[in-house]
Structure 1
């Protein structure tokens, strides 16, 4: 399946190549869903093997979808060097002829004009995803149902099964990859003051599936994009949102009758991160209230009552930045486990 290098002039086909915001995308499933719902195919590129130093590890992905204007919309990145444009060139061919490609960049590559500044080597599998592909539909259904699944492919035949496993597994000859997909990382923030809104907005920018809860709040949604806006009590909302280890909950209403119920529901649901903003002087009282409500010692040990990274400052954006960083650290082990 290894191919010759595509015409480098085609690199201009990537939409917004001058300002590659597409590189901010880490989960290609939303872009895949948009393509399939529009009845368009997609080219999925999976980094399946890395040698030496590299910005991304095995399992990193890019998705390429054709637009009506002839440009290719890209999501994700591999190196930040020049190879994204070349991968897009090959993706354009895959979209047309459906034949998978195995691409090799860096050390040992036949394309000496495409160098990696890190000095390593990247091996990429490109495969076409048809708009009605059963495996793609199963992948998106598992994401919607918040189930872990494994995508198995040789570039031509694709299969999805609900299962656990390493992020990336590989059989090289004949090539067959198995890539694990976890439920999307999710952030649930309860509150409506500047600090709560800053945390929700940063979470959405960091591509968490962000849900803002504001009990009895205004009917109009917040003035920035979130996945969902709910006006329910946090405990009530978490009961039907199905908390799991890829979920972070932040209580930031500053009202214990809201935040304590939300924290208890998140802890009992096995959330990967549970925090509550408030003065340290209130910590003992809050712990006592949770214990009286039935929280176990193990659950209370997982609760962050002074969330965030110390020393960043006390403005809403500074506090929110520290909290989002702490949440990322807490959720990453579930995402990267072997």
Structure 2
């Protein structure tokens, strides 16, 4: 059992922030996994408390990693301990940086990280509950002491913990979701950037081609945006971007998203069209509070007008709006 990270020279595993899809894959494969939670940080660090990693063992003994803690300072060592946790089932508490017993492992940021490693089985009831809450788009709290786990309906801080004995409580929100309606280069650029940015991305193109888009999305729908949003359901962890440039589609989609409490609602279009669109939405029954949440001509000014430049500014704005640091619960 080598404990080496698969493709460790190119740590693209650190692009993933939400470990639940990897956990669902481990469950589907019937494999145990090592679940790592950063529960305490002292000083500076790339990630804050609540960051997580998941480790599964390959048949050759290498470790498949998902997530990151330190920008490649400690991930290899955590993977080594994770392989041991999967093998013997005993949880481990790891301490890196200031005051650590492993003086040969340095953190470039100069802080200290405290991590709980625990083995989770593919048939663990708490894991099943965690994944069910994600599918049903309901927030929950994962509680664990390293051996006993439970999931309960709740919201609250991202992570709390108590020492002696260690007990952590980690909040999970529904996966961030981006719904883009449209089929021009700008809409497609926004959808692809959303997918690359780890959004559960859904592309809606009314009466669009039968063939799916030439890049991966969670779903491709050919219905009208308002109908698609009603079927999908909208919540505050959802961003919606109307980019068909047809008011019959974009206005209906935006109104449905606003009434559903979407965390971000935007509509691409010239500023000269803004007042007319606001009046049209008001005539459809939109309230002042709803219209105040609407982003017309969305994005970050000054990036440029090419599809990728416009999409980059819009997706950045959506990321900021759906960031847990801006939570409203």
Tell me which interval the TM-score lies in, with the shorter structure as reference length: over 0.9
CA contact (8 A) 2:73 2:108 kept: no
Could you tell me which residue of structure 1 aligns to residue 125 of structure 2?
134
- 5+ long unaligned stretches in structure 2: none
Q: Does 1:319 align with 2:310?
A: yes
Q: Does 1:155 align with 2:146?
A: yes
Whole-Å separation in 1 of the counterparts to 2:203 and 2:72? 37
Q: 2:22 aligns with which of 12, 16, 31?
A: 31
With over 3 angstroms needed to count, the CA separation of the structure-2 counterparts of 1:142 and 1:322, relative to structure 1, is same
Whole-Å separation in 2 of the counterparts to 1:174 and 1:318? 50
With over 3 angstroms needed to count, the CA separation of the structure-2 counterparts of 1:145 and 1:234, relative to structure 1, is same
With over 3 angstroms needed to count, the CA separation of the structure-2 counterparts of 1:155 and 1:90, relative to structure 1, is same
Q: 1:100 aligns with which of 87, 91, 97?
A: 91
Could you tell me which residue of structure 2 aligns to residue 273 of structure 1?
264
List aligned pairs for 1:7-156, cutoff 5 A.
10=2, 13-156=4-147
How many equivalent residue pairs?
329
- Residues 51-77 of structure 1, C-alpha deviation per residue, up to 9 Å, x if partnerless? 000000000000001123322110000
Whole-Å separation in 2 of the counterparts to 1:186 and 1:222? 18
Whole-Å separation in 1 of the counterparts to 2:186 and 2:142? 39
Deviation for aligned residue 1:204: 0.0
Could you tell me which residue of structure 2 aligns to residue 167 of structure 1?
158
Deviates more, 1:142-151 or 1:80-89: 80-89
Deviation for aligned residue 1:336: 5.4
Q: Does 1:222 align with 2:213?
A: yes
- Residues 250-302 of structure 1, C-alpha deviation per residue, up to 9 Å, x if partnerless? 00000000000000000000000000000100001100000000000000000
Name the SS for the 2:152 alignment partner: strand
Runs of 4+ in 1 over 3 A off after TM superposition: 333-338
Could you tell me which residue of structure 1 aligns to residue 273 of structure 2?
282
Whole-Å separation in 2 of the counterparts to 1:126 and 1:336? 27
CA contact (8 A) 1:81 1:116 kept: no
CA contact (8 A) 1:216 1:232 kept: yes
Name the SS for the 1:217 alignment partner: coil
Q: Does 1:310 align with 2:301?
A: yes
Q: TM-score when scaled to structure 1? A: 0.95
Alignment RMSD (CA, Å):
1.2
CA contact (8 A) 2:97 2:105 kept: yes
